[in-house]
Structure 1
C-alpha cells in the first residue's frame, strides 16, 4: 500500500466566519462513511454495493482481517472480558455496515441481566460531541458566533467569566469552572431544574482558573455553561434541544438523558460498576454521589448502534451542513498528552469532538470516563470506519481503543 501523506493539523478557521470545505474534504467525509446516511444501518447494504464510486486511497484499504469476527481484535476484547477487565459493548462498522458487534458482562449483577447489543450505557464525556454539534447547528443558523462572549447570550455571570468566548468554552481554554478532579461531596438535588440551576450557581461562584485563552485545562463545567447558551438561544431546555435536533433526526431512538429514578427502574440500562482501591466493584448508582441527572458535559445515555447512527448522520449532513460538520470535528487546540498515550498519537480539541492524529491518520470522536463508566467513539472518516466502545466498568476501554487504532492506522 502506498504510504499516506502526512497531514498537517488544520489551521483553526476564524470563528466568526463560515467555513468553506474543499471538494476533497466533503468527499473524504461524505462519500465514505455516510454516502447512504443512516439508512445503511437498516438496509442491509453490502460492502460491494457501497464501494461503487469511492475515490482515493481509502477504496484500496480493505477491511483488515484482524477486525473481522474471530480476528485478533475480537480475541483481544474477549480475553479482557474473560479476565473481568471489560464489561460492555464493542461495535465496529465499515462504510455504515456493522462488521463486529460483541457484548460482555452484566448490565445488572443484582438482577442477573447481561449486557446485550441494545443495552443503554451512560456516554460520559462522549456527550460533549452532542453539545458541540448543537452549538454548531446554532452557529450555522446565525444564532451563535464562535468568537462572541458568553455574556452576549447568557446573563448572570461575573464579568471575567462572561468575557470568555464560545470558542474558548468549546476548546477548554476558557478557565471556567472547577478543576476536573475537584473534591468534596456533591450537593443533593432532586429534579432536573434543581441540578441545572444548582450547577450553574456553583460555576458562577467559582473564580476563573486562568485568563480565558491563555492555556488548556479540560473543563466539564465549561460544557454546562454551553448548555445554558444552547437553552437561552434556542428557547428550549438543553435536553429537549438535543432530543429534537439530534436524537430524533439521526434516528437515535434508544438515546436520552435519564434521571436517577429512571436508571434505577429500567432493566435495559447498564449499571456502572465503580472500581475501588481494593479491586472490588461497587454499583455506582447505590452511592450517595450518584446524581439526579447528568448534563451537557456527560449526561447522555445511548447504545452502540445509536452512536453509529449519530456518526453517520453527522457525516451525511443530516444534522449539520458539511461545512459546519468539518468545523466542529476538526482540530482547534492542542491537548497535552494523556498519561501512557502512544508517542505516535497527537490529540486536539475541536468543538465538542476531539481530533486525534494517529500514525499520521485522522480520527475524530471523544473518550469518556467516570465511576463505573468508560466509553469511546472513534470515527476514521478517511477510511469509512466507526468504532464504538461502551463499558460499565471504568477499566479496559483504553486498551481496546489503542488496539483498534493500531490495527486501523497501521500499514496493510
Structure 2
C-alpha cells in the first residue's frame, strides 16, 4: 500500500488522539509536561482513571490484561512496567520486580528501561524532521550526504530505502564480546561497520531482513546534516520536545550509578541469573544472541536503543499526533504503510503497522538479554500501550497479543523488534 492509499486515514487518525495533548499523561509520582499545543496538567494533579463505553473492561484494573500480567509476574516471567493510556489518562499502570536488586530499588513508572530496537523509530523521526525543514530529501542517495561508501551503495541506495528496510544491504557479523569504554569508541566502531556493508540485493525490493547498516547510515546522515552527534540530536529534538524527561542515551557509568535506570537480569546457561551490567564477562547462552551482553556497550549504537520510561513513551505517542515532534503530514509519512508484510501488516518508516479489528496499530518491539520493550499506538481510538521488562523469559509477543485483545477485542501477535 502506498501513501496515497492511506489518505482517508488521516482525518480519522487525528480524531482518535486529538484529546491527548490537552489531557496530558497521568504518571504517578511525576509532573506532567505539556506539548507544543500549550496544554498541560499541573504538576501533581492526577486525573481519575476513565470509565465508560470507550474503556473495555479487559483494560481496567482487575480486568483480563491486569490479571494476565500479574500471573506472569507471580510465575517469574515478567519484571518491569506495563501501562495502558486512553486519550491522555492512565487506565492501568502496574510495576513488578526489581530495577536494581543490589540496591533494593523496585521497578516503578519513573524507571527508565533499555529499549533495544524499540528505540529505532527515533532515527526515522530525526530524518523526517530534517526533510520537513528542507535539509534533505527522501530521494537523496547515501552519497549525497556521506563519503567513504562503495560506489554502488553511494549511488543506488536512497534514504527512503534505508528507512523502509529495502536497501538491499547486508552487514558483517557484530563482535558481541567487545567491551566499549567511550562514546567515541562506539561511534568509530559502528561507523566503520556501516562502511563494511555490502549491497547484496536490489534497492527498493522488499526483504524481510533489516540490516544494521540501514540504521547506522541513517544516523550518520542525521549527524552530517545537523552537525551534531545522533545522540545529542535526538535528546534535543525528540526527547526534550516531547517532554520525555526520563529518557536518554545513558552510558554504562550512568547505568551503574543512576537509581532511575533498570538493570537487565540475564539468565545464564546454568540457570543462574546475573545483573548483566555488573557482569560484563558473562553472556547470553541463547543461540540467536550467543554470548551477547547489553552492558558491554558504553552507549547504544547511533540510531539504535536508548532508554525511556513508560510515561515518556506515551508522551512520544502524543507528540506524533499533535504536531509537537513532526508536522502532521510528516507524521503520516512516518506511519504510512509502505511495504506489505502480510495480509494486514506493513512496514512503515522504522515502525511496523497493522490493521487490527478495523483500526490501525503502530508498534515497535525490541529485545536483548535481560531486556524486553514494546510500545503500541492505536490512533483511531486514542489508546497507547507500553511494555517494558528487565528479565529474560518475558513472553513479549504473547503480552502484546493480550494487550491488543484487551483494547480492540481482537487478538494480535507482536513483532517489529530484535
Give the TM bin, normalised by the shorter chain: 0.7 to 0.9
Greater displacement, 373-382 / 390-399: 390-399
Report the counterpart of residue 324 of structure 1 in structure 2.
Answer: 330
Shift of 1:214: 3.0
Partner of 2:408: 409
Question: What is the CA–CA distance in structure 2 between the aligned matches of 1:405 and 1:214, rounded to whole Å?
Answer: 30
The residue correspondences of 1:284-303 to structure 2 (distance < 5 A) are: 284-285=276-277, 286-288=279-281, 289=293, 290-303=296-309
The alpha-carbon deviation at position 203 of structure 1 amounts to 2.1
Aligned to 1:339: none
Displacement of 1:38 in angstroms is 6.6
Q: Distance in 2 between matches of 1:252 and 1:185?
A: 30
- 1:140 is matched with 132
Once the two structures are superposed, what CA deviation does each residue of 1:64-111 show, in whole Å capped at 9, x if it has no partner? 011100111100000000000011000000011111000001111222
Shift of 1:177: 4.1
Confirm whether residue 201 of structure 1 aligns to residue 192 of structure 2: yes
What secondary structure does 1:256 align onto?
coil
Deviation at 1:331, TM superposition (A): 1.4
Offset of residue 363 of structure 1:
0.2
Q: Does 1:128 pair with 2:120?
A: yes
Distance 1:147 1:278 in 2: 50
How far apart, in 1, do the equivalents of 2:115 and 2:186 lie?
Answer: 18
Q: Secondary structure at the match of 1:236?
A: coil
Measure, in 1, the Cα distance between the counterparts of 2:163 and 2:337: 12
Query: Structure 2 vs 1, CA of residues 334 and 212 (structure 1 numbering), >3 Å: closer, same or farther?
Result: same
Check whether the contact 1:366–1:378 (CA below 8 A) recurs between aligned residues: yes
Question: Which residue of the other structure, out of 21, 44, 66, is the alignment partner of 1:37?
Answer: 21
Contact 2:49 2:91 in 1 (8 A): no
Map residues 28-67 of structure 1 onto 2, 5 A cutoff. Answer: 28-37=12-21, 40-41=24-25, 42=32, 43=41, 44=46, 62-67=54-59
Query: In the comparison of the two structures, how many residue pairs are matched?
Result: 376
Q: Cα deviation per residue 1:151-191 (whole Å; 9 max; x = unaligned)? A: 11111111122231111111222133426xx4644444321
Point out where structure 2 has 5 or more consecutive residues left out of the alignment.
26-31, 33-40, 282-292, 411-418
Matched, 1:274 2:272: no
**Per-residue Cα deviation, 1:348-387 (whole angstroms, up to 9, x for no partner):** 2211222122344310021111111111010000111000
* Residue 185 to residue 320, structure 1, CA distance change in 2 (3 Å): closer
Helix, strand or coil at the partner of 1:399: helix
What TM-score do you get using the length of structure 2 for normalisation?
0.84
Match in the other structure for 1:229? 221
8 Å CA contact 2:97–2:107 kept in 1: the answer is yes
Asked whether the 8 Å contact 2:193–2:213 carries over to 1, the reply is no
Q: Which moved more, 1:307-316 or 1:155-164?
A: 155-164
For the aligned residue pairs, the C-alpha RMSD in angstroms reads 2.4
State how far apart, in whole Å, the 1-side matches of 2:153 and 2:206 are. 15
